[in-house]
């Protein structure tokens, strides 16, 4: 009787782990690299960053990356690319994956206080976690910096640091000027 109980207890502990395990070959056959399951979400996107809890920023995700992000539980996609930009996000794809799609079209250096307030409103009403993207992540970082300054009341230096953490690059001189740092 004791041997049977020990055997059943061992099976109860061992079988659930076995049932949940998936061989690497099945994962690779499905087209999802095994590394993606272990990767940090920021590593999924071009120039991906995680500047704040619940926020992933970066460049334009591919269809496969949107699928992975949905699988990781991301709820809202915020696209800063203009509607006429080549390769912009397909809202139908995002919504078919169960995520909410929001567009704040910003072209080039058209980041400013008005768009910072638009981003703040979207983020205030968004389901988290969120992905905010443009083509490269540059506009995202710029807009996060301006939101931090104009809406959240951060100092210019703190706002710029958040923008850098969110991906601003070529637009940094424009942002420095708007923040009064130059």
Per-residue model confidence as pLDDT tens digits over 130-168: 999 999 999 999 999 999 999 999 999 999 999 999 999
Q: Are 89 and 61 in contact (CB under 8 A)?
A: yes
Note whether residue 133 is domain-resident: yes
Angle between helices 156-166 and 138-150 (to 10 degrees): 150
Q: Is residue 26 part of a domain?
A: no
Q: Is the pLDDT confidence value at 4 over 70?
A: no
CATH classification of the domain holding 126: 3.90.190.10
Q: Two tokens at 129?
A: 């976690």
**Is residue 34 in a domain?**
no
State the average pLDDT over residues 53-78.
97
Residue 146 domain flag: yes
Q: Which domain holds residue 67?
A: 39-178
Residue 14 lies in a domain: no
Name the pLDDT band for 110 (thresholds 50, 70, 90): confident
Mean pLDDT across 52-57: 97
Residue bearing the bigger pLDDT, 175 or 85? 175
Work out the number of other CB atoms within 10 angstroms of the CB of residue 172: 17
pLDDT band at 39 (very low <50, low <70, confident <90, very high): low
pLDDT(25) > 90: no
For 20-68, the three-class secondary structure string (H helix, E strand, C coil) is: HCCCHHHHHHCCCCHHHHHCCHHHHCCCCEEEECCEEEECCCCHHHHHH
Residue 32 belongs to a domain: no
Residue 93 placed within a domain: yes
Please indicate, yes or no, if residue 4 is contained in any of the structural domains. Answer: no
Average pLDDT over residues 60-78: 96
User: Is pLDDT of 28 > 90?
Assistant: no
Number of folded domains that form the chain: 1
Asked whether the beta carbons of 60 and 81 are under 8 A apart, the reply is yes
């Amino acid at each position: 009787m004791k041997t049977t109980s020990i055997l059943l207890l061992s099976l109860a502990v061992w079988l659930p782990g076995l049932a949940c395990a998936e061989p690497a070959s099945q994962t690779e056959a499905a087209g999802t690299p095994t590394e993606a399951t272990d990767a940090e979400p920021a590593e999924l996107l071009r120039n991906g960053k995680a500047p704040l809890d619940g926020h992933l920023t970066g460049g334009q995700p591919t269809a496969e990356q949107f699928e992975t992000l949905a699988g990781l539980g991301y709820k809202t996609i915020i696209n800063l690319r203009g509607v006429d930009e080549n390769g912009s996000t397909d809202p139908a794809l995002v919504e078919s994956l169960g995520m909410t799609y929001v567009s704040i079209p910003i072209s080039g250096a058209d980041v400013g206080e008005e768009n910072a307030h638009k981003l703040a409103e979207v983020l205030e009403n968004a389901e988290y976690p969120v992905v905010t993207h443009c083509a490269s992540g540059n506009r995202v970082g710029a807009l996060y910096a301006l939101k931090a300054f104009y809406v959240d009341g951060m100092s210019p230096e703190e706002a710029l640091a958040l923008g850098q953490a969110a991906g601003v690059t070529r637009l940094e001189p424009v942002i420095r000027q708007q923040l009064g740092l130059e």
